[in-house]
Amino acid sequence: MPPRLSNLTYNPPREPYTSIVHRDDDILVLDKPSGLLSVPGRDPALFDSLIMRVRETFPQAHLINRLDKDTSGIVLMGLNKKAHSFIGPQFESRTTKKSYTAIVWGHLAEDAGFIDLPLAGDADNKPLHRVDHDNGRPSQTEWRVVERLPMPATRVTLIPLTGRTHQLRVHMQSIGHPILGDKFYAAGDALAAADRLMLHAGELGIVHPNGQPMTFTVPCPF
């Protein structure tokens, strides 16, 4: 069985408490650290989360996108209904531009590739997801090699063309190159090779409610 989050294992980083990349009258762009939930869990011990921290200063803030607890990087929040309703559909219609950095186990043979594998929740191993050719939803990921490391491991850029839960994690595991430190989808040396999930949402492009295209970036911490 996969590890489950509990009040005994949840110890999110406190410094920086929040990291604001951009702020204007309509949106907040934040750099979420690995280990912090985007939203509270059901257990009261899992209340600490990015949205609750932000609402201490911006009580009107609402999440527009979210990241897994162990993924770091860009999270976007709306500061009014207009912004939320304007930007939210961009994620639904896949018109946003998203780019991630990851370090995966092993050396990929090619320099770039495309993964087209349908994904579905794994009913027997919640909250995991899996490739499911019968019932899965269409899911596509582009990848390209940045650097082959001696571990052996490979630094890659991942571009999700769809936005399924755990998409990048499952897709890379399905081609034999799980992301280092992934407690759900890596095992053995690939799991032990890093003390965090080596996945970072480094770039996000949207159309701002003012009509202007905007791209936000945050440095990769690994």
Q: Which tens digit of pLDDT belongs to each residue from 58-116? A: 999 999 999 999 999 999 999 999 999 999 999 999 999 999 999 999 999 999 999 99
**Taking CA 111 as the corner, what is the angle to CA 95 and CA 32, rounded to the nearest 5 degrees?**
45
Q: 181 is written with which tokens? A: 């430190």
Given 24, 31, 68, 111, which residue is catalytic? 68
Over residues 159-185, the pLDDT tens digits come to 999 999 999 999 999 999 999 999 999
126 DSSP 8-state letter: T
Residues 177, 133: Cα–Cα separation, whole Å: 20
Domains and CATH numbers, the chain: 100-199 (3.30.2350.10)
Cβ(144)–Cβ(108) under 8 Å?
A: no
pTM: 0.95
State yes or no: is 26 an active-site residue.
no
For residue 116, CA distances in Å to 80, 112, 134, 137 come to 36, 14, 14, 11
Cβ(57)–Cβ(79) under 8 Å?
A: no
Q: 148 is written with which tokens? A: 């082959």
